[in-house]
Structure 1
Amino acid sequence: MTVGAILNEKGASVVSTPADSTLADVCAILKKHRIGVVMVLDNDGNIAGILSERDVVGAIGKEGASALQRKTSQFMTTQVETCVEDDTIIHAMSLMTKGRFRHLPVMRDGKIHGVISIGDVVKWRIEQVEREAEEMRSYIAMA
């Protein structure tokens, strides 16, 4: 199965913010959309960075509540790993595990098209194991 199949199932919306937004703005976005990451885009719609709830917690833990008034660009990850729709789920899992992050932007034609999460990947894996178990039960019942 490919990353594109996950996006087809869950949808390919991308929640984003400009780099000059504040951490407080990002917190409001995360809460409103009930998500764990927001993409930070430049004026041309390209990825400037990614900011996760972990980044927000780290900023507040380090600087206190005053961090909420600082710019997103000061706390975002700028070296963003990405994948494409044709990549396998196994490849996406490998990137997430190796990089120890939970969200992976999906690119199409050089632009961000969607984001998959570790939850999306785990859901796919559970469904795969359940399918394999059912196939084994069916095979055994036929023998």
Structure 2
Amino acid sequence: MRDNRVRSVLVIDDDVLVGIVTQGDCAIKVLLPGLDAKTTPVSQVMTSNPVTVKPDDRLEGCMAMMAARGFRHLPVLDAGKVVGVISIGDVVKNIIRDLEHNVDDLMGYIMKDGPGG
């Protein structure tokens, strides 16, 4: 995970998502108890049957689910197949982008019409 600069890894068996392993999982389930990361089975560390979202799910819904359940990563499945992972960082970047567009739109409106325009 460190070498590839990712904070989560999906566990797939026979093209089926069976779990997710996060940096937090590794810290809590391997490092804190003093286990050897090289010999600890992934099945002992992963969260089995993770909550997933679909590509057409709304970003607001993903954000609400992440906040309510304390998730930082959600696997994205399309017709049962993994197509990606959305992270809290992805959500924040999209929110910032949307807010910037809103500010640009408002500034354009204000500058074009002016007060009382």
TM-score between the two structures when normalised by the length of structure 2: 0.90
Aligned to 1:26: none
Specify which of 31, 40, 50 is matched with residue 20 of structure 2: 50
Per-residue displacement from partner, 1:95-140 (whole Å, max 9, x unpaired)?
A: 1111101111111111111111111110000000011011111111
- Alpha-carbon distance in 2 for matches of 1:120, 1:66: 31
What 5-or-longer segments of structure 1 have no aligned partner?
1-29
Q: Percent identity?
A: 36
Residue 68 of structure 1, CA deviation: 4.2
- Alpha-carbon distance in 2 for matches of 1:33, 1:99: 26
Specify which of 35, 47, 59 is matched with residue 6 of structure 2: 35
TM-score between the two structures when normalised by the length of structure 1: 0.74
Per-residue displacement from partner, 1:50-70 (whole Å, max 9, x unpaired)?
A: 000000011234321435421
Aligned to 1:138: 108
Larger RCO (CA under 8 A, 6+ residues apart): 1
Specify which of 88, 91, 94 is matched with residue 118 of structure 1: 88
Superposed CA RMSD: 1.3
Structure (1 or 2) with the greater helix fraction: 1
Larger radius of gyration: 2
How many residues of Structure 1 are paired with residues of Structure 2 in the alignment? 113
- Alpha-carbon distance in 2 for matches of 1:131, 1:57: 38
Contact 2:75 2:84 in 1 (8 A): yes
- Alpha-carbon distance in 2 for matches of 1:103, 1:134: 30
Residue 31 of structure 1, CA deviation: 1.7
Contact 1:59 1:67 in 2 (8 A): no
- Alpha-carbon distance in 2 for matches of 1:105, 1:59: 21
- Alpha-carbon distance in 1 for matches of 2:69, 2:50: 10
Contact 1:60 1:68 in 2 (8 A): no
Contact 1:41 1:49 in 2 (8 A): yes
Aligned to 1:102: 72
